[in-house]
Structure 1
Amino acid sequence: MLQKPDQDERPPEFVEALAKGLSILECFGADNAEMTLSEIARRVGLSPAAARRSLITLKALGFVGQTEKRFHLRPKVMSLGSAFYFSARVDEVLQPELRNFVSTFGDASSVATLVGQKVLYIAHYSEQRARRPSAVVGARYPAQATSLGQVILAGLPEDRLEAFLQNMEPVALTQRTIVDKDELREVIANVRAQHYAVTVDQLDYGITALSVPIRGRDGQTVAALNTSGYSGAMTADRLVEERLLPLRQAAARIAQTFQRYPVLERIIDHD
């Protein structure tokens, strides 16, 4: 869900109507592909009248459709995501690195950034056939439950990490998901020391993942790159032993493109 800045953090030019419209677009998903006006209003925290005005506008613009009393997204919404995809040069810069890595090691590889409390996948390539949460571009998962998120959190300044921890929702996706804030602090400290993160069965059973930071020109973490495999066939130690060095090399190559395309760094940076 769209995270609005607190009232005292909003700039004078903040457009509340635009924020409401974006919140409505974000509230649709696989489990709620169609919703009534009252359902939408409840999910985004708006009055029915305010939600109705936004829906009428979005419908007139072609982003939302309506069948009887239920609303759904229209394909035009994809144009918003494709604008990011092309401006971030995902197909030109990120996707080749992921394909090359997966062609060497198999399994899957992704690039993600931090949006609020979740990691947002901005590039992904996979040869996996096993059941697992969808890591398609645009997918979002709790940051603390993923190696991608733990790497990005480790790169945050202390005040921003504390802000994340204060707002963290302790949802146990599996029995191994970190839900204790003190435990997460310890994990983040270890990730900072070793400059990589490994998770086993934290996002879902059967997923072992290794992530490293993608650093900007100033050396700060702007995103994360991972490789993942099936827990039954790949241990955490083996993943680190076989893939850590080439994963770091791939992240370094991505970072080098920031010299040629400075805007790419600004686009994918979680700030």
Structure 2
Amino acid sequence: MATAEDRTMGAERPAEFVEALAKGIAILESFDAAHPEMTLSEVARRVGLSPAAARRSLITLQALGYIGQDNRRFHLRPKVMTLGSTFYFASRIDEVLQPDLRDIVRQFGDASSVGTLEGEDVIYIAHNSVQRARRAAAVIGARYPAYATSLGRVLLAGLPNAAFEAYIDRVRPQELTSRTITDPAELHREVLAVREAGYATTVDQLDYGITALAVPIRGPDGRTVAALNSSGYTGMVTPELLVTERLPMLRATASRIGHMIQRYPILLSVMGN
């Protein structure tokens, strides 16, 4: 779990940087499926704050309606969802991205997503699915390590060389399944192969049962700004089948999205940063 300090490591903080705001955001992000509710001391430990600092932030967030409390345990309140929904509608994601994802799912079934790179993770900004299995959820707003997803490997392949080499030097891959690539040298070779091929396939890297194919979405300057994927159940599809049956449609869709986002500056800005 990244601390408030971690979020600005490697980047110079502007003079106007508000430490208290950073701490509050870090607290909101510390709640997840494994930590749906926490005591004050648990929050402080996960975010890397003193109990006193964590308490001040929790009280403020509680007064604003983003945090609730049941006895000694804190939890998120539904108001937090307004932060994500505001981004979703302001960025025109439903208008620009969802129709194409629905077309992919109608054609092949399974699931399709668009993601962007945020630090060392992929954030899913659009998703459509007919799947109901219990596994790592690719819902809008989900955040997963870039090294373990097809989307992430495409995005890593699109980084400038210096940024990619810095990522490889910095990242410490965790074994999410027995098939997850955890050796940085092997990951380096895999991403370079993705760069050469122009697409990525993964099998059971993030969670068991996920086989996926992803392609880059490029901005007007040719730079990779996001990635598009299609995924299915391991055992029912193979990487070779995905490439044969789905790669042409994914590439055509990614190209169309790349042209469309030029008409939506806010979406292009979101993807490009």
Into which bin does the TM-score normalised by the smaller protein fall?
over 0.9
Q: Which residue of 2 aligns with 1:143?
A: 146
Whether 1:132 and 2:135 are equivalent positions in the alignment is yes
Distance 2:198 2:34 in 1: 36
Q: Which residue of 2 aligns with 1:75?
A: 78
Number of aligned residues: 270
Q: Residues 79-126 of structure 1, C-alpha deviation per residue, up to 9 Å, x if partnerless?
A: 110111011211111111100110011110000111121111111111
Distance 1:15 1:69 in 2: 28
TM-score (norm 1): 0.96
1:152 to 152, 155, 162: 155
Q: Which residue of 2 aligns with 1:84?
A: 87
Whether 1:214 and 2:217 are equivalent positions in the alignment is yes
Q: Which residue of 1 aligns with 2:253?
A: 250
1:119 to 119, 122, 128: 122
The farther-off stretch of 1-10 and 143-152 is: 1-10
CA contact (8 A) 1:88 1:268 kept: no
CA offset at residue 7 of structure 1?
A: 7.3
The change in CA–CA distance for 1:187 and 1:8 in structure 2 (over 3 A counts) is closer
Structure 1: gaps (5+ residues)? none
Q: Which residue of 2 aligns with 1:57?
A: 60
Structure 2: gaps (5+ residues)? none
CA offset at residue 8 of structure 1?
A: 6.2
Whether 1:99 and 2:102 are equivalent positions in the alignment is yes
The change in CA–CA distance for 1:7 and 1:244 in structure 2 (over 3 A counts) is closer
CA offset at residue 132 of structure 1?
A: 2.2
List structure 1 runs of 4+ shifted beyond 6 angstroms. Answer: none
Whether 1:266 and 2:269 are equivalent positions in the alignment is yes
The farther-off stretch of 125-134 and 198-207 is: 125-134
Distance 2:167 2:233 in 1: 29
2:194 to 191, 196, 217: 191
TM-score (norm 2): 0.95
The farther-off stretch of 250-259 and 19-28 is: 250-259
